[in-house]
Chain A
Amino acid sequence: MSTVLDLHSHSEASEDSRAPLEAYLNWLKLRHAERPVHGIVLTEHRQFNQAADYRALEDKFGLMVLKASEVETDYGHVLVFGVTGEMTARFDFANVRLPAQEVIDEVARMGGVAIPCHPGRPNVGLCEHYAKKPPLENVIAVEVLNGGSRKGEDERSEALVRQYGYGAIGGSDSHLVSLIGLCATRFDAAIRTIEDLVRELREGAYEPVDFRPRRKPVPHAVPVEVK
């Protein structure tokens, strides 16, 4: 059985989001036909809430809620999956200048996986940093589909993946209820826990999926004959 997860979302625990988790899950339940995800991963900015327990909401809506974090580094923003107490002790997640290479290597050593997100985005994406600095080592995947991308940003991410052979994930990067689940990642395997997710990101098969509605093409203008 495959699993579809939105791997990048922010609830109101992030200072720039106003989206309650329950509203996200309610929206996904209502929009299941358009955004058929099995769950979401909360990647709150610069923090990780080890104690947060969402089982009651998972049961209420029949959707999975996993926890991760989005940290900020000298190579842009990075999603950290499988966060442990050892990681939060090793790194100050509030530091916006974390050393990316150390984050990737240490997180892997501690049993998690660190994945650069929105690499095509100016300033906080990998592409811009790769133009000035050596590429990072041990990157296993990057986020090529991001629901908050502007024109051209996802295309830059795709080019990066082609050039370096990275794996590719997708996430909505939702900060608003109506945007949850617009981009996601489809895994071949069944995923039930954060440990499953980390394992599949490291070793499994997955691909980004795009549920954003296609815009209807604008009809060609009919030239008006001027007499």
Chain B
Amino acid sequence: MAVNYDPAIIGRVFETTDPVPVDAATIATFAATIGDTNPLHVDPEVARQGPYGGLTAPPSFAVTFRNGRHFFEHVPRFGKQGFDAGKDVEFVAPIRPGDAITLSSHVKEIYEKTGRSGSMVFVVIRSTLTNQNGAVVAHVDHRFMNRT
């Protein structure tokens, strides 16, 4: 591979945020914002009888948690310029009111490819969302493209 980087950076957690508390009001506001009327997110009585035994956040709530302020300082850069090439989210477990969510981030993958517009290096940063019990609730993969 022509792309040069220290392989030791792969997998090493470079940032862990403070826990962010989640409450029912925040979940309800988020559900209303995205137009999700599922009572499992907003009606405690219905949710109690549902598959999770209580209120849960819509799955896409996972992307509302922010990385730390120094996040971008740890994203390896290659070539001349780059941009955010999208995100993949893997939902593992429901996020509930009362949870406190922590994000830990590491470089998951660096790879090179060629396309119509030339050569590119992609850097994938994985942020793992963990609740107060240490259970993983989601993985968010941030994909950054660098033009070389």
Spell out A's residues near B (CB within 8 Å).
Answer: 15, 45-46, 72, 76-77, 92, 94-97, 121-124
Contact between A97 and B122 (Cβ–Cβ < 8 Å)?
Answer: no
Residues of B within 8 A of A77 (CB): 114
Of the candidates B1, B111, B117, which one forms a contact with A123 in the assembled complex, judged by CB atoms under 8 Å apart?
Answer: B117
Contact between B114 and A45 (Cβ–Cβ < 8 Å)?
Answer: no
- Tell me how far the C-beta of A109 lies from the nearest C-beta in chain B, rounded to whole angstroms: 25
How far, in angstroms, from A95 to B2 measured CA to CA in the complex? Answer: 8
How far, in angstroms, from A72 to B117 measured CA to CA in the complex? Answer: 14
How far, in angstroms, from A123 to B119 measured CA to CA in the complex? Answer: 9
How far, in angstroms, from A121 to B114 measured CA to CA in the complex? Answer: 12
B117 (CB) vs chain A CBs: closest residue: A123
Contact between A96 and B113 (Cβ–Cβ < 8 Å)?
Answer: yes
- Tell me how far the C-beta of B37 lies from the nearest C-beta in chain A, rounded to whole angstroms: 26
How far, in angstroms, from A123 to B114 measured CA to CA in the complex? Answer: 8
Given A96-B119, A123-B117, CB of A15 within 8 Å of CB of B111: yes
- Tell me how far the C-beta of A174 lies from the nearest C-beta in chain B, rounded to whole angstroms: 16
How far, in angstroms, from A173 to B119 measured CA to CA in the complex? Answer: 19
Whether, in the assembled complex, B116 has its beta carbon less than 8 Å from a beta carbon of chain A, the answer is: yes
A95 (CB) vs chain B CBs: closest residue: B1
Residues of B within 8 A of A124 (CB): 114-116
Whether, in the assembled complex, B18 has its beta carbon less than 8 Å from a beta carbon of chain A, the answer is: no
Spell out B's residues near A (CB within 8 Å).
Answer: 1-2, 111-119, 122
Given A15-B122, A95-B1, CB of A46 within 8 Å of CB of B113: yes
Contact between A96 and B116 (Cβ–Cβ < 8 Å)?
Answer: no
Contact between B116 and A122 (Cβ–Cβ < 8 Å)?
Answer: yes
B interface SS class: strand
A46 (CB) vs chain B CBs: closest residue: B113
Contact between A96 and B122 (Cβ–Cβ < 8 Å)?
Answer: no
Contact between B115 and A96 (Cβ–Cβ < 8 Å)?
Answer: no
How far, in angstroms, from A206 to B115 measured CA to CA in the complex? Answer: 28
Contact between B116 and A121 (Cβ–Cβ < 8 Å)?
Answer: yes
Residues of A within 8 A of B1 (CB): 92, 94-95
A45 (CB) vs chain B CBs: closest residue: B113
A118 (CB) vs chain B CBs: closest residue: B116
Contact between B116 and A94 (Cβ–Cβ < 8 Å)?
Answer: no
Residues of B within 8 A of A94 (CB): 1, 111-112
How far, in angstroms, from A70 to B65 measured CA to CA in the complex? Answer: 37
Residues of B within 8 A of A122 (CB): 116-117
How far, in angstroms, from A95 to B112 measured CA to CA in the complex? Answer: 8
B119 (CB) vs chain A CBs: closest residue: A96
Of the candidates A46, A92, A95, A123, which one forms a contact with B115 in the assembled complex, judged by CB atoms under 8 Å apart?
Answer: A123
How far, in angstroms, from A96 to B121 measured CA to CA in the complex? Answer: 11
Residues of A within 8 A of B111 (CB): 15, 46, 94
- Tell me how far the C-beta of B41 lies from the nearest C-beta in chain A, rounded to whole angstroms: 25
Contact between B113 and A123 (Cβ–Cβ < 8 Å)?
Answer: no
Contact between B122 and A123 (Cβ–Cβ < 8 Å)?
Answer: no
How far, in angstroms, from A122 to B113 measured CA to CA in the complex? Answer: 14
How far, in angstroms, from A122 to B2 measured CA to CA in the complex? Answer: 21
How far, in angstroms, from A72 to B112 measured CA to CA in the complex? Answer: 10
B115 (CB) vs chain A CBs: closest residue: A124
Q: List 25 A-B contacts (CB under 8 A).
A: A15-B111, A15-B122, A45-B113, A46-B111, A72-B113, A72-B114, A76-B114, A92-B1, A94-B1, A94-B111, A94-B112, A95-B2, A96-B2, A96-B112, A96-B113, A96-B114, A121-B116, A123-B114, A123-B115, A123-B116, A123-B117, A123-B118, A124-B114, A124-B115, A124-B116
